[in-house]
Amino acid sequence: MRRHALTLALSFLLVPALGLYAKDSPAPGTKPVAGATMDLELRATQRNAVAAVIWGMPAVNFQLMLDAFLKVGGQPNQVAYWSRPLNWKNQTLTPNLATIYFMPFYDTRNGPVVLEIPPAEGGSITGTVDNGWQNPLEDVGPAGVDKGKGGKYLILPPGYKDNVPAGYIPMPSATFQGYAILRSNMKDGSDAEIERAVAYGKRVKFYPYSKGGGVGETHYVDAYDKMFDSTIPYDSRYFEALNRFVQVEPWLVRDMAMIDPLKSVGIDKGKPDTAIADHKAVLDASAAEAKALIAQWIEQAYLPPFNEGAHWALPVSPEVIKGQSTDFPDPGNYPINGRAAIYAIAYFCAKHLGAGQFYLMTIKDKDGQRLEGGKSYRLHVPANPPVKLYWSVTAYDGDTHALIRDSKWSDRGSNTPGLQKNADGSVDIYFGATAPQGKESNWIPTDAKRTFELMFRFYGPEKALFEKTWKLADMEVVK
């Protein structure tokens, strides 16, 4: 029943363009000529390629981050970290610049892996462990399972049957590979506070599990100021990344309807020498078509806004949030279109969104116009933002959804040194290609030739946010 429902749902995704080509297809009951047969096969490949981009977005998003880690010298079961807050050379999708990142990449093909989170003493971790599909296994740290007491999490490979020893928190994974996103929180951006957050983050331990219970060595790889590019390539490289993922990971029952469509675009599990290169022109065009389609879905995802009459929103549907955090248990609901939209602009999913962090994004000003880097804007942040830890706002490139290249900085927030406050405790943040006079400490530079988008982060969100008694203002054009 469940497999049939999901197969049927995916089959609808694979045929959206049939009507467009019906006039060129042979009439029923007639014998197709060779050229017509080849044309039909080409069109089927195009449709399947578009479907593959939509379906595979979270997996490719993850695969590209893993590839970037390998390029900076990392290996599976090691920890990528940034020894300072990120600069623009981190080209992941909508990252946070107001924290110190630690990203363990796990590979359980040779057995379970241990992730040790330290007690929240002298620092704290806000984090989640995700599998290769970026479905969360669990949150960790004060907002996670260990509740700030620290703990040993045991990440288990698919189909693991052995007993989990006492003292470990089991984390069964549906994929062999995955990662954790761990943020070592800072009170401010001073050098001393950065150094403290890095030292606390290095108390995280990550190593292959030993039945003897021994503690293995943790390998940290500093990725700061190195090009770490996982932006989505909407051409044949997308399918090469998807192929790398498919070759390693098991087929999930919910996704088995994609086996044959992927074969038609050159991705066949167990056959690493695929025909992707033979379809390059078709795949380049199909990926570009998928990008345009997903861009429409992203814009639609901002409706309805978080507050009525405004333009800030969490651009992901409740169905996607629920499905991701519960591993899509509903056989009648598999929202891969909405999933593609959010993973085209961001990575990671929390198990309990709103517990440790919450996000709002916008792509428009108060008049409903797209944010343009050549204009100047002001964002008014009312006094008493509802956060226990900190808030921040970050600007991203409107096309790549990564940090704006060559920017001096891309965010401002409550822990930014020298941030100017108004007399009532509110804050005004400015955006544009040039800084307004006397406001550089509150200014975020933009690229005058490109659009941009914003993410406002609430770390340790409080009830005034969700009760909507505190409201974030829309962006205003500065005349």
**CATH architecture of the domain with residue range 356-477:** Sandwich (2.60)
One of 1.10.30, 3.40.50, 1.10.3360, 3.30.1490 is the CATH number of 2-67+234-296, namely: 1.10.3360
pLDDT of residue 35: 65
In the block, which residue shows the tokens 């770390």? 459
pLDDT at res. 433: 96
Q: State the average pLDDT over residues 450-462.
A: 97
| Element holding 323 (H helix, E strand) | helix 318-326
Per-residue confidence (pLDDT) for residue 69, from 0 to 100: 98
432 and 376 Cβ atoms separated by less than 8 Å: yes
Mean pLDDT of 435-443: 96
The per-residue pLDDT for range 62-119, each reduced to its tens digit, is 999 999 999 999 999 999 999 999 999 999 999 999 999 999 999 999 999 999 999 9
pLDDT of residue 420: 97
pTM of the predicted protein model: 0.90
> In the chain, which segments carry CATH 2.60.120.600?
356-477
* pLDDT attached to residue 17: 37
For the chain, the average pLDDT equals 92
Averaged over 332-343, what is the pLDDT? 97
What pLDDT score was predicted for residue 21? 36
Q: Is the pLDDT of residue 15 over 70?
A: no
Q: Please give the Cα distance from 63 to 70 (Å, whole number).
A: 11
pLDDT at res. 33: 55
Res 30: pLDDT: 52
CB 206 within 8 A of CB 77: yes
Examine the pLDDT at 395 and tell me if it is beyond 90.
Answer: yes
User: What pLDDT, in 10s, does the model give residues 190-240?
Assistant: 999 999 999 999 999 999 999 888 899 999 999 999 999 999 999 999 999
Contact 232, 91 (CB under 8 A): no
Q: Judge whether 136 and 327 are in contact, CB under 8 Å.
A: no
Q: What is the pLDDT of residue 92?
A: 98
Radius of gyration of the chain (CA): 23
Which of the residue ranges 80-84, 328-332, 468-472 would you say has the lowest mean pLDDT? Answer: 328-332
Mean predicted confidence (pLDDT) in 266-287:
90
Q: Tell me: the pLDDT tens digits for 16-55?
A: 433 333 344 455 455 555 566 778 989 999 999 999 999 9
Residues of the chain with CATH 1.10.3360: 2-67+234-296
Q: What are phi and psi of 157, to 5 degrees?
A: -75, 165
Q: φ and ψ at 73, to 5 degrees?
A: 100, 5
Kindly give, in sequence order, each residue whose CB lies less than 8 Å from that of residue 243, ignoring residues fewer than 6 positions away: 266, 267, 272, 274, 276
Alpha helices of 22-177 — where are they, by DSSP H? 34-71
The predicted model gives 409-431 an average pLDDT of 96
CA angle 249, 254, 255 (to 5 degrees): 55
Mean per-residue pLDDT, 9-16: 42
Topology given in CATH for the domain delimited by 73-226 = Immunoglobulin-like (2.60.40)
Asked which of 327-331, 420-424, 464-468 is least confident by mean pLDDT, the reply is 327-331
Predicted confidence at residue 19, as pLDDT, reads 36
CA-CA distance, 114 to 386, in Å (whole number)?
35
Query: Is residue 377 over pLDDT 70?
Result: yes
Output the pLDDT for position 450.
Answer: 98
Residue ranges matching CATH 2.60.40.1610 in the chain? 73-226
Looking at residue 466, the DSSP 8-state letter turns out to be: H
Q: What is the pLDDT of residue 34?
A: 58
Count of Cβ atoms closer than 10 Å to residue 343 Cβ = 26
Give the DSSP per-residue string, 420-465.
---TTS-EEEEEESSPPTT-GGGEEE--TTSBEEEEEEEEEE-HHH
Reference 424, options 390, 382, 380; nearest CA is 382
pLDDT at res. 211:
86
Residues 186 and 99: their CA atoms lie apart, in Å, by 6
- Kind of pairing between the strands at 427-432 and 443-445: parallel
Nearest to 366 by CA among 475, 448, 211, 277: 475
